[in-house]
Amino acid sequence: MKKISRTALSTVALLIAALVTITNAAEHVFPKEALPTASGYLRIKEKPGALMFYTYYEAIEPALQLSERPIVLWLQGGPGCSGLLGNLYELGPWRVAQDLRLHKNSAPWNRIFGLLFLDNPIGSGFSVAPTDQDIPSNQEEIAKDLYSALQAFYHLNPLFKSRPFFVTGESYAGKYVPSLAYYMLQKVEKGGSLRIDGAAIGNGLTHPVVQVQSHASVAYAVGLIDYQQKLYLESLQQEAVTLTTQHKWNDARIARNRALRWLGNTTALASLYDIRRTIPYNSFDNGTDYLGLFVNQRAVKEALNANPNVTWVDCSDAVDVRMREDIMKSTKCMVESILLKIPVLLYQGQFDLRDGVVSTEDWMRTLLWNDLADFWRAERKVWRVSNVQAGYVRSYSNLTHVVVARAGHFVPTDQNLHSQAMIESWVAKSLATSAVN
Ligand SMILES: *[C@@H]1O[C@H](CO)[C@@H](O)[C@H](O)[C@H]1NC(C)=O
Ligand SMILES: *[C@@H]1O[C@H](CO)[C@@H](O)[C@H](O)[C@H]1NC(C)=O
Ligand SMILES: *[C@@H]1O[C@H](CO)[C@@H](O)[C@H](O)[C@H]1NC(C)=O
Ligand SMILES: *[C@@H]1O[C@H](CO)[C@@H](O)[C@H](O)[C@H]1NC(C)=O
């Protein structure tokens, strides 16, 4: 037998030491207990080479046996923002802070539910679009890709198929949630095997032609602009409306951006997403984003089973470009359709100047839905969580509207406990009855 040399032995020792250091470093950046239950890539079978990145967290304190335990899907907005924003900054079980460390969320959305995050559409976050042409440019394509990714997810976890399934999301997901729910319900009618039990939108953009008209009156009402400025902003908003009704989708998008940019510049707010903020969300005090610094560490990508060669960005420019013609298009008719079949929750943080309460109520008033008059006749109740005023709720038939107090655009970030109570009681169909006057 060949004698192992002293140098070889010390090399091995060094290698082991290095490995231990790397492991400890990885553990330091991403503690084991913070790891998702599963994560990686789901194949979009209709698009060779296309992969949708996901993270999945099983319930921490399951109240029901697996086959009955709901699964909540979360979709990020943008268009083109990564689901890791929701996961690591808003509603996931561990969240990144300015110190670039993960901190346990005292009230995540996976307390009693399974929680699935997707980097949607492909081209966002760690999701792979083989070419830019593979990135969806409309809601139907988005719904089809999402459906395909969900099929791949259930293929990995066949026992999950019986679990109640809720589609949720925020901001531009105000488009994705209705279009995916609508698509899934169509599939159900044709005998498809994936179930859907409800749809929830937080601070959403769903019916832009109405929503773009709300900014001036809201900003004026809270003293951010004066009467003259209100008239000017209304004229900018009207340009977006006119172009939308002419179906000049890209020009309408540009006009809306002009109005929002003018509002941001004129008010000098740190963020239109929350009029109270002095720095934007997920930023250092100097205003630069910190989430990217965390996610782009090799140990983080490896912990998440993401391709370490990919540079993660919070929101993808390529997706934004592909979706330009979609921005001002409405998915209100899909909300009208799904309301006939499943419960819908629309909730907004009160201090959002982009996709806030008035913006949402204004388009809700235009819903073509038989129960709408009765919905508005229903009492708007004070919503309390553990005796604390948490906001307001109105619910009738399949529609529930919640205003979340002391929150901006990113409701779970600003009010983790109340947002958790909201989603849990809505899924349990007890949100409206839990409110007292
Ligand atoms: C931003 O606002 C300042 C005044 O506060 C004004 O001078 C400037 O022209 C504005 N810029 C844009 C792009 O609207
Ligand atoms: C902002 O602050 C962070 C953290 O203190 C620092 O790493 C970064 O370089 C700063 N960026 C700018 C543009 O000042
Ligand atoms: C990352 O890049 C390295 C070097 O180019 C390559 O060997 C490896 O296969 C890549 N990994 C993935 C997952 O693409
Ligand atoms: C509400 O949804 C249920 C399913 O949860 C459905 O059976 C019912 O028809 C819907 N109600 C209305 C008034 O659309």
- For residue range 19-45, what is the model confidence (pLDDT) as tens digits? 555 555 667 899 999 999 999 999 999
**Could you tell which of 335, 338, 398, 429 is best to mutate to test the pocket of ligand 4, judged by most ligand atoms within 8 Å of the CB?**
398
Q: How far is the CA of 266 from the centre of ligand 1 (A)?
A: 6
Instruction: Express each pLDDT in 235-249 by its tens digit.
Output: 999 999 999 999 999
> Coil, strand, or helix at residue 287?
coil
Residue 8 token pair: 């070889």
Q: What percent of the chain has pLDDT over 70?
A: 93
Which whole number is the average pLDDT over 174-200?
96
- Determine the distance separating the centroid of ligand 3 and the alpha carbon of 309, expressed in angstroms: 6
Confidence of residue 316 (pLDDT cuts 50, 70, 90): very high
- Which residue, by CA, sits nearest to atom 13 of ligand 3? 307
Q: Which two tokens stand for residue 44?
A: 């979009």
Q: How far is the CA of 263 from the centre of ligand 1 (A)?
A: 10
Band of pLDDT at residue 436, cut at 50, 70 and 90: low
Q: Is residue 284 lining ligand 2, measured as CB closer than 6 Å?
A: yes
Distance CA 346, CA 332 (A): 12
104 has which bridge partners? 94
Give 259 or 23, the one with higher predicted confidence: 259
* CB 52, CB 42: distance < 8 Å: yes
pLDDT grade, residue 2 (50/70/90)? very low
Segment 403-423 mean pLDDT: 98
- Token pair belonging to 356: 């806030």
Q: Which atom of ligand 3 is nearest to the CA of 309?
A: 1
Q: What DSSP element (H or E) covers 417?
A: helix 416-427
Task: State the average pLDDT over residues 99-108.
Answer: 97
| Residue type at position 299 | A
Nearest ligand atom owner, CA of 367: 4
Q: What is the DSSP string of 117-184?
A: EE--STTSTT-B-SSGGGS--SHHHHHHHHHHHHHHHHHH-GGGGGS-EEEEEETTHHHHHHHHHHHH
- DSSP letter at 68? G
User: Does 132 qualify as catalytic in the annotation?
Assistant: no
More confident residue, 193 or 77: 77
User: Cα-flanking dihedrals φ and ψ of residue 344, to 5°?
Assistant: -125, 130
Mean pLDDT of 153-175: 97
Q: Which residues form ligand 1's pocket by a CB distance below 6 Å?
A: 262, 265-266
Residues 303 and 290: their CA atoms lie apart, in Å, by 18
Residue 285 has pLDDT above 50, yes or no: yes
pLDDT band at 437 (very low <50, low <70, confident <90, very high): very low
Cis peptide before 121 (omega within 30 of 0): yes
Q: Is the pLDDT of residue 8 over 80?
A: no
Looking at the predicted structure, is the pLDDT value of residue 7 above 60? no
Nearest CA to ligand 3 atom 3: 309
Q: What is the pLDDT of residues 297-309, one digit of tens each?
A: 999 999 999 999 9
> Which residue has a Cα nearest atom 6 of ligand 4?
341
Q: What is the predicted pLDDT for the residue at 430? A: 87
For 271, other C-beta atoms within 10 Å of its C-beta total 21
Ligand 4: lining residues by beta carbon, under 6 Å: 339-343, 371, 397-398
pLDDT in tens, 42-74: 999 999 999 999 999 999 999 999 999 999 999
What's the Cα-to-Cα distance from 340 to each of 140, 184, 426, rounded to whole Å?
20, 14, 17
- What is the average pLDDT value for the chain, to the nearest integer? 94
Q: What mean pLDDT is predicted for residues 217-223?
A: 97
Given the CA of residue 340, which atom of ligand 4 is nearest to it? 14
Ligand nearest to the CA of 307: 3
- How much is the pLDDT for 18? 53
Query: How far apart are alpha carbons 181 and 199 in whole angstroms?
Result: 7
φ, ψ for residue 106 (rounded to 5)? -70, -15
Flag whether pLDDT at 1 surpasses 50: no
Residue 95 token pair: 């969240």
Mutate to test the pocket of ligand 3, among 309, 311, 312 (most ligand atoms within 8 A of CB): 309
Name the closest-CA residue to atom 5, ligand 1. Answer: 266
- Which residue among 409, 418, 419, 425 is the active-site one? 409
Ligand 4 pocket test target in 341, 374, 427 with most atoms within 8 Å of CB: 341
Output the CA–CA distances (angstroms, integers) from residue 331 to 178, 246, 247, 334, 338, in the order listed.
Answer: 7, 17, 15, 5, 11
Return the ligand 3 atom nearest residue 307 CA: 13
Q: Cβ(197)–Cβ(164) under 8 Å?
A: yes
Residue 409 annotated among the catalytic residues of the structure: yes
Q: How far are the Cα atoms of 168, 233, 255 from residue 112, in angstroms, in the given order?
A: 16, 45, 43
Cα 70 to Cα 196, 197, 251, 285: the distances in Å are 10, 9, 42, 38
Tell me, what's the pLDDT at 253?
98
* Among 137, 171, 330, 425, the one annotated catalytic: 171
Structure tokens at 255: 């006009």
Catalytic residue among 119, 145, 314, 352: 352
Mutation probe of ligand 1 site: the residue of 236, 265, 267, 269 with most atoms within 8 A of C-beta: 265
Q: Which tens digit of pLDDT belongs to each residue from 269-282?
A: 999 999 999 999 99
Catalogue all structural domains in the chain, each as residue range(s) with its CATH number: 32-210+298-434 (3.40.50.1820)
pLDDT band at 177 (very low <50, low <70, confident <90, very high): very high
